[in-house]
């Protein structure tokens, strides 16, 4: 991958991605057009993973991911296999992203010519077993492709890993969850929300390990122990000269992290803005280790508190890498809207499944606000309105946890998209504020959507008349109590 001298800004990255998207949209491409594919690859090489690290966890990063997803789909649709091979084999493209691309391609078999795309993704070796099973299910009755996919997967599984490389599967961290963490420094147990923790300070670090477990610390704590925590693996016991000086490792026990083995911290050092990490065990074991102090002070090998290749210290080693950020069920809902065409999104079957998924979320507004991070135009209701998904909108706006502010934002986007059914569904919820109504109507006027304006005006007039009617009936009921009493007394008197 080409090296660049300066990190690119968010706007520069988006400009490159939009340029790629426009090229794919406007130019008639063919599979054999290698020059065009080379042009796309050259543009993609301008974006380094380091350029994205400062956006980790932000709405900017989410926007970039959406652009990448859309581009990947267009590449598959046009059968641009060489670009796909380049993309899925990039070291900074996660296994999770590649696995999702594999499932998506399997869904399109029969509609698009994506057989070569499926094998290009599979050959990367990044498709998880679970995603492989899901992809095969999506292939349905395509027995010939299923047979070839299973054969290829078996071949890939048999391939031995290179001696100097370890298969690295990034861990997924659900940042929406709260965990109970025992702080080894204060010796206190605390309940901490992961997303709140990383937002408090850019130097706060979350390390995922084991079976969905987490260790919380800070860069200051890690860096302060760097010299004392540094060790080198020894090839033989009691022989310091066999220590590998080119493989410095960090003894994580120095910061109270007792779970793990000596760790290669290169990724942590090279990425000072990253906050979410995963520790992965390597299948490499050494008989002992020597401390940084003893390695550089071999004349004083009796330093009690430091390792010096003595026996009893045999251990595997590990490495640290970036963790994949997962924001719960709400992220799955948002991503499902990216994967399908507009017609597919509006199918009752899909909308029904989406409603079923949303029912698992106790507070939609809270989870969505946490996910979109202050950009209401990218919120779920806004997207549903943009795609005209009326069934889901009707369910969502009538949930008790959905407030008028959230409704107002969705209504404005529906008006901007001039989606008549979505506009009316949100208006009929009765939760739209007067301010939200005025703002939406101004947008409709800007878009010259006179038919929707007319319909809203009629509904509004009808709503006002109903309110007036209800008030009159209520007032009449209060007055009629006395009349009824007098009438009954008069009737009794006549008798």
Model confidence pLDDT, tens digit, residues 313-361: 888 888 888 887 777 788 878 877 876 677 777 777 888 888 988 998 8
Q: Tens digit of pLDDT for each residue in 364-375? A: 888 888 777 767
Q: Tens digit of pLDDT for each residue in 149-168? A: 888 887 776 544 433 333 33
Question: Please, where are the H alpha helices in 91-230?
Answer: 95-107, 115-122, 129-139, 143-158, 194-200, 219-224, 226-229
Task: Give pLDDT, residue 26.
Answer: 56
125 with 33, same domain? Answer: yes
Q: For residues 170 and 323, what is the distance between their CA atoms, to the nearest angstrom? A: 5
Mean pLDDT over 19-36 rounds to 62
Task: Give pLDDT, residue 460.
Answer: 82
> Cβ atoms within 10 A of the Cβ of 286, count?
24
Q: What is the mean pLDDT of the chain?
A: 77
Mean pLDDT over 222-249 rounds to 87
Question: Of residues 201 and 102, which shows the higher confidence score?
Answer: 201
SS3 assignment, position 284:
strand
Task: Give pLDDT, residue 35.
Answer: 66
374 with 424, same domain? Answer: yes
Q: Note down the domain range covering 465.
A: 453-495
189 with 143, same domain? Answer: no
Task: Give pLDDT, residue 493.
Answer: 47
Task: Give pLDDT, residue 168.
Answer: 37
Is there a domain that residue 164 lies in? no
Task: Give pLDDT, residue 475.
Answer: 63
DSSP 211-234: TTEEEEEEHHHHHHTHHHHEEEEE
Q: For residues 174 and 53, what is the distance between their CA atoms, to the nearest angstrom? A: 18
Is there a domain that residue 1 lies in? no
Mean pLDDT over 5-18 rounds to 70
292 with 355, same domain? Answer: no
Mean pLDDT over 362-389 rounds to 82
Percent of the chain with pLDDT over 90: 11
Question: Of residues 4 and 293, which shows the higher confidence score?
Answer: 293
Helices 420-427 and 434-446: angle between axes, nearest 10 degrees: 170
458 with 354, same domain? Answer: no
379 with 478, same domain? Answer: no
Is there a domain that residue 3 lies in? no
- Model confidence at 29: pLDDT above 60: no
Task: Give pLDDT, residue 165.
Answer: 34
Task: Give pLDDT, residue 28.
Answer: 52
45 with 63, same domain? Answer: yes
Percent of the chain with pLDDT over 70: 77
Question: Of residues 400 and 172, which shows the higher confidence score?
Answer: 400
Is there a domain that residue 241 lies in? yes
Is there a domain that residue 33 lies in? yes
Closest CA to 379 of 362, 397, 391, 353: 397
322 with 346, same domain? Answer: no
**Radius of gyration over every alpha carbon of the chain, rounded to an integer in angstroms:** 30
Closest CA to 93 of 118, 119, 64, 117: 64
Task: Give pLDDT, residue 396.
Answer: 92
- Model confidence at 92: pLDDT above 80: no
Mean pLDDT over 218-243 rounds to 88
Mean pLDDT over 29-56 rounds to 61
Inter-residue contact 168 to 134 (CB < 8 Å): no
Instruction: Say which range, 132-136, 206-210, 462-466, has the weakest mean pLDDT.
Output: 462-466
- Total count of domains within the chain: 4
Closest CA to 400 of 362, 441, 438, 373: 362
- Model confidence at 485: pLDDT above 60: no
Mean pLDDT over 459-472 rounds to 68
Task: Give pLDDT, residue 192.
Answer: 93
145 with 198, same domain? Answer: no
Inter-residue contact 380 to 364 (CB < 8 Å): yes
Confidence of residue 36 (pLDDT cuts 50, 70, 90): confident
**Per-range mean pLDDT, top range of 85-89, 137-141, 243-247, 335-339:** 243-247
> Cβ atoms within 10 A of the Cβ of 312, count?
7
Is there a domain that residue 4 lies in? no
**Strands 276-286 vs 172-174: parallel, antiparallel or unpaired:** unpaired
365 with 342, same domain? Answer: yes
Task: Give pLDDT, residue 3.
Answer: 37
Mean pLDDT over 394-406 rounds to 90
Instruction: Say which range, 189-193, 204-208, 386-390, has the weakest mean pLDDT.
Output: 386-390
Question: What is the dihedral angle through the alpha carbons of 251, 256, 258, 259, rounded to the nearest 10 degrees?
Answer: -90
263 with 278, same domain? Answer: yes
Is there a domain that residue 494 lies in? yes
371 with 481, same domain? Answer: no
Which pTM does this prediction carry? Answer: 0.48
- Model confidence at 379: pLDDT above 50: yes
Cβ burial, residue 170 (10 Å; 0-12/13-18/19+): buried
- Number of H helices and number of E strands within the chain? 24, 12
Mean pLDDT over 202-215 rounds to 88
User: Residue 316: beta bridge partners?
Assistant: 285
Is there a domain that residue 36 lies in? yes
- Model confidence at 308: pLDDT above 90: no
Helices 404-417 and 420-427: angle between axes, nearest 10 degrees: 160
């Amino acid at each position: 991958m080409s090296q660049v001298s300066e990190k690119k800004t968010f706007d520069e990255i988006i400009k490159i991605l939009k340029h790629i998207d426009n090229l794919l949209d406007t130019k008639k491409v063919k599979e054999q057009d290698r020059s065009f594919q080379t042009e796309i690859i050259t543009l993609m090489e301008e974006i380094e993973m380091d350029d994205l690290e400062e956006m980790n966890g932000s709405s900017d990063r989410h926007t970039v991911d959406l652009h990448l997803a859309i581009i990947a789909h267009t590449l598959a649709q046009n059968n641009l296999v060489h670009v796909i091979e380049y993309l899925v084999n990039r070291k900074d493209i996660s296994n999770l992203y590649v696995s999702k691309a594999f499932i998506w391609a399997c869904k399109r078999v029969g509609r698009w010519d994506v057989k070569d795309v499926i094998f290009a993704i599979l050959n990367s070796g990044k498709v998880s077993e679970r995603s492989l099973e899901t992809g095969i299910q999506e292939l349905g009755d395509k027995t010939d492709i299923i047979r070839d996919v299973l054969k290829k997967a078996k071949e890939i599984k048999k391939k031995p890993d290179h001696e100097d490389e370890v298969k690295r599967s990034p861990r997924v961290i659900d940042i929406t969850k709260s965990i109970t963490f025992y702080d080894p420094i204060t010796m206190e147990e605390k309940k901490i929300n992961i997303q709140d923790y990383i937002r408090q300070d850019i130097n706060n670090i979350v390390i995922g390990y084991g079976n969905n477990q987490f260790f919380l610390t800070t860069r200051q704590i890690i860096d302060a122990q760097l010299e004392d925590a540094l060790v080198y693996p020894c090839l033989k016991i009691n022989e310091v000269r066999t220590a590998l000086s080119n493989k410095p490792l960090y003894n994580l026990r120095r910061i109270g992290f007792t779970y793990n083995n000596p760790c290669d911290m290169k990724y942590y050092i090279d990425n000072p803005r990253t906050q979410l990490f995963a520790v992965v065990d390597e299948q490499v074991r050494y008989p002992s280790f020597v401390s940084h102090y003893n390695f550089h002070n071999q004349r004083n090998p009796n330093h009690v508190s430091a390792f010096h290749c003595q026996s009893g210290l045999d251990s595997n080693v590990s490495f640290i890498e970036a963790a994949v950020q997962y924001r719960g069920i709400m992220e799955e809902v948002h991503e499902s809207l990216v994967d399908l065409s507009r017609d597919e999104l509006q199918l009752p079957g899909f909308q029904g499944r989406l409603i079923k998924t949303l029912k698992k979320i106790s507070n939609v507004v809270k989870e969505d606000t946490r996910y979109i991070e202050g950009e209401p135009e990218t919120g779920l209701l806004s997207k549903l309105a943009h795609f005209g998904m009326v069934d889901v909108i009707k369910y969502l706006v009538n949930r008790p946890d959905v407030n008028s502010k959230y409704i107002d934002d969705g209504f404005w986007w529906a008006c901007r998209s001039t989606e008549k059914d979505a506009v009316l569904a949100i208006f009929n919820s009765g939760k739209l504020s007067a301010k939200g109504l005025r703002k939406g109507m101004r947008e409709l006027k800007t878009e010259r959507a006179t038919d929707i304006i007319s319909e809203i005006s009629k509904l509004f007039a009808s709503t006002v008349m109903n309110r007036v009617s209800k008030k009159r009936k209520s007032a009449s009921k209060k007055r009629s109590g006395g009349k009824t009493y007098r009438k009954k007394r008069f009737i009794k008197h006549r008798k």
